[in-house]
Amino acid sequence: MKQVFIANSTYTLLLYLLRFPQQIDETLFVLGPSCAFTDLKHKICFELPADQKALKIEQNRLLHQVNSLLNEQILPAYGDASLTVVAPLIHDSCFYPVSDGLRDEVDFPNYVKRFPKLYGIPYKGEKDFQHPKIEYMDLKALFQNLSDENKRRLMQIYKVEQRVIQNLKNRKNFLITQPLSEDHVCTEAEKQELYRRILSNYEKGSVVLKPHPREKTNWQTVFPDTIIAPQHIPMQLLQLLMPKLEKVITLFSTAAFTAGNDKIIDFYSKDFAKLKYFTPAARVENNCVFQPITAFDVEKAYRSEKQFNWRSIPDKDGLFYPAVKQMTTQRIRQGFGGKNILPNTHTR
């Protein structure tokens, strides 16, 4: 083995596999739970401990296992430098961060100075942070330049079945859902109704839906005419397998930006303030506390980008949910310690 790769993100792993396909069989992959399913020749998996004592034990175990395999050699390493559990394996002088998160980290010059080179993806085109140490990757170009054998290998690593590839070929819209009910932003029924209204704007049978990894919703029963992508396959790989992809659809997920500058992004967060669960403070219903959503920095930061299409959530009945009409002012105010948690009806 000639290098090491470290990550707990299937997307970060994809970036490495696309950029360095010739290194795959010579790489020791040190992977977290999110990537444990992948089919790789040299692989060590680690856990994400919940407390400091368990963290120290896992760090020592991982360090011992890697050193044993590499005969104490310190090899060039790539991947995610922010994972605490792998900190003993990070040697700044020979570590090369590979991440879509560079858009956040490169705001800090000291971060760039730490490493010999960094790999990321274009996020805002010409507005991206420019530095001689940073190489921005074009995922579409990298994928197209792969040999047929390397493409087959990539599908094998991610366990992408041929039927999935065939189903994606003629779809042109890609919906990214978010764990709204799982994160207690709204109820499960509200989440499903929200996405029903969004999908009513698109041609039946044209959409691929990518669930968030933490979602528990059975979307196939909700949208039987929609292809529901396997949760373990990274969204960016699915998009590369959609040659006719035109639009990415989302409420406010910044993951939409990874689709490339040639794709239109339909954002539906503009009128989110109309919704029952847009509140300045938490709301309580049936003894369940729902978290507030009060701002959408995505719109503020990227409203000038011409490829972003700010859409309204279809709302023909005046209010998004009839349940709003049933909740009296007094009942709402009494629901959370007497505080005013009335829905914020102000729209941008």
Confidence of residue 127 (pLDDT cuts 50, 70, 90): low
The whole-number pLDDT of residue 124 equals 64
- Res 130 pLDDT > 70: yes
- The CA distance from 268 to 30, in Å, is 38
| Residue 279 resides in a domain | yes
Pair (147, 191) in one structural domain:
no
Q: State residue 156's pLDDT score.
A: 96
pLDDT, tens digit, 9 for 90 and up, residues 217-260: 999 999 988 999 988 899 899 999 999 999 999 887 777 877 66
Give the domain range for residue 240. Answer: 162-334
Kindly indicate the confidence band of residue 43, based on its pLDDT and cuts at 50, 70 and 90.
very high
Task: Please state the rounded mean pLDDT for residues 116-121.
Answer: 91
Residue 202 lies in a domain: yes
For residues 8 and 154, membership in a common domain is answered with: yes
Check residue 334 and give its pLDDT. Answer: 39
Q: Which residue is it, tokens 């420019």? A: 130
Residue 136 belongs to a domain: yes
Give the domain-ending residue among 158, 173, 204.
Answer: 158
Average pLDDT over residues 135-152: 93
- Model pLDDT for residues 51-92, shown as the tens digit of each residue: 999 999 999 999 999 999 999 899 999 999 888 999 999 998
Question: Which residue, among 40, 36, 157, 31, has the nearest Cα to 89 in the 3D structure?
Answer: 31
| Strand 283-285 relative to strand 288-290, pairing | antiparallel
Residues 154 and 170 in one domain: no
Backbone φ/ψ region at 16: left (φ over 0), alpha (ψ -120 to 50), beta: alpha
Greater confidence (322 vs 249) lies with 249
51-60, 122-131, 291-300: range with lowest mean pLDDT: 291-300
Of 48-52, 132-136, 331-335, the range with the lowest mean pLDDT is: 331-335
Alpha carbons 33 and 45: distance in angstroms, whole number: 7
344 found inside a domain: no
% of the chain exceeding 90 in pLDDT: 47
Q: Which of 119, 142, 158 is a domain's end point? A: 158
Q: Are 320 and 343 in contact (CB under 8 A)?
A: no
Could you say which of 137, 158, 179 is where a domain stops? 158
**Same domain as 250, residue 196:** yes
Task: Specify whether 286 is located in the same domain as 259.
Answer: yes
One domain for residues 209 and 143: no
| Averaged pLDDT of the chain | 80
Whether 36 shows a pLDDT value over 90: the answer reads yes
- Report which of 295, 298, 292, 296 is spatially closest to residue 277, judged by C-alpha positions: 292
Residue 237 in domain: yes
Based on the domain organization, do 153 and 173 belong to the same domain? no
185 lies in the same domain as 324: yes
Q: How many CA atoms lie within 13 A of 119 on its CB side?
A: 21
Euclidean distance between CA atoms 169 and 280, whole angstroms: 43
CATH code of residue 40 = 3.40.50
Q: Is residue 348 in a domain? A: no
- Does residue 210 share a domain with residue 139? no
| Phi and psi angles of residue 128, each rounded to the nearest 5 degrees, phi first | -65, 150
Task: Give the per-residue pLDDT at 185.
Answer: 74
Question: Residue 339 falls within a domain, yes or no?
Answer: no
Residue 283: band (very low, low, confident or very high) from pLDDT cuts 50, 70, 90: low
Identify which has the larger pLDDT, 208 or 107. Answer: 208
- Give the pLDDT of residue 322: 40
Residue 345 in domain: no
173 shares a domain with 49? no
State the pLDDT confidence band at 189, using cuts at 50, 70 and 90.
confident
Q: Looking at per-residue confidence, does 181 or 39 come out higher?
A: 39
Q: What CA–CA distance (Å, rounded) separates 35 from 27?
A: 15
Q: Which residues pair with 210 in a beta bridge?
A: 176
pLDDT surpassing 50 at residue 44: yes
**Where is average pLDDT lowest: 3-17, 118-132, 233-247?**
118-132
Q: Could you tell me if 306 and 167 lie in one domain?
A: yes
Tokens of 167: 């189903």
Count of domains for the chain: 2
Residues of the chain with pLDDT > 70, as a percent, come to 74
pLDDT band at 104 (very low <50, low <70, confident <90, very high): low
pLDDT on residue 105: 58
Q: Are residues 121 and 266 in the same domain?
A: no
Q: Which of 24-38, 108-122, 173-187 has the highest mean pLDDT?
A: 24-38
- What's the rounded Cα separation, in Å, for the pair 35 and 8? 6
| pLDDT band for position 103 (cuts 50, 70, 90) | low
The residue-averaged pLDDT of 135-141 equals 90
